[in-house]
Amino acid sequence: MTKLDASSPLQTLPTLESRNRVIASTRLERLYDRIEAFVSHLSVRDNFWHSICSLIWLPLAFFSGIRMKQFDPNTFSAVLPFRRFNRNWYRAMAGGALLANSEIAGGMYVFGICGGNYTVVCKHLEYKFLRPCLGPAVYRMTPRENIRAMMDTGGEFNITLDLEVQQQGFRPNQRDHRVGQAVATFHVTPKSQIKSKQLRKTR
């Protein structure tokens, strides 16, 4: 009975198959990463694409109709419209809608600054109800830390936002009335760091 040497095609076949599987898996992962990066950058481009992405991955934000507004490079706010989906049975803004959209408004703010190369996860959320909201709600975000300076470190970090929630005035010259206050803490992680951790686990 003859022995197969290392150059035998029967011995090299499994090696070639496994190598092809690794190459195909690597190409698929790269394609997925490109699609994810493209969608992430698209979601922060403008409110239209944010709505499309919200319909797929965050339906609460889509049906609530919350929108981000930028007044200047350092001032952002989110507006929650006074629509049927957000109202309760006595025709005021539902407390659950105000609370849930506090996280969405804060996350949109942080993600809009950090961009699609980061993941943003809410770690802590507090909300204080001050008065009923009978019109559109405006969320004004103020970060306690310098987000861009923390991004320059290249690692993951926590960012805390103070959110002032106001009822939008019904007339152009009518001032907004404060209806609530919220404090939200988000954990921000570079996607490259997540991938490196996953590679270390698979080895």
Alpha helices in 84-184 (DSSP H): 95-114, 147-151
Q: How far apart are the first and last CA of the chain?
A: 39
Which has more confidence, 21 or 92? 92
Give the model confidence (pLDDT) of 1-10 as tens digits: 445 454 545 4
Domains in the chain: boundaries: 61-197
* Average pLDDT along the chain: 79
Asked if residue 118 lies in contact with residue 41, where contact means CB atoms within 8 angstroms, the answer is no
**What's residue 165's pLDDT?**
95
Which range has the worst mean pLDDT, 87-101, 133-147, 183-197?
183-197
Give per-residue burial for 129-150: e unless 16+ CB within 10 Å, then b.
eeeebebbbbbbbebeeebeeb
**What's residue 4's pLDDT?**
47
194 pLDDT more than 90: no
Which has more confidence, 25 or 141? 141
The CATH code for residues 61-197 is 3.10.129.10
**What's residue 25's pLDDT?**
61
163 pLDDT more than 90: yes
Helix (H) or strand (E) holding 61: helix 59-64
CA separation, residue 183 to residues 41, 103, 130, 152, 179 (Å): 26, 9, 14, 24, 14
Which has more confidence, 114 or 181? 181
Which has more confidence, 202 or 194? 194
pTM listed for this prediction = 0.72
Confidence category of residue 126, pLDDT binned at 50, 70, 90? very high
Give the model confidence (pLDDT) of 87-111 as tens digits: 998 889 999 999 999 999 999 899 8
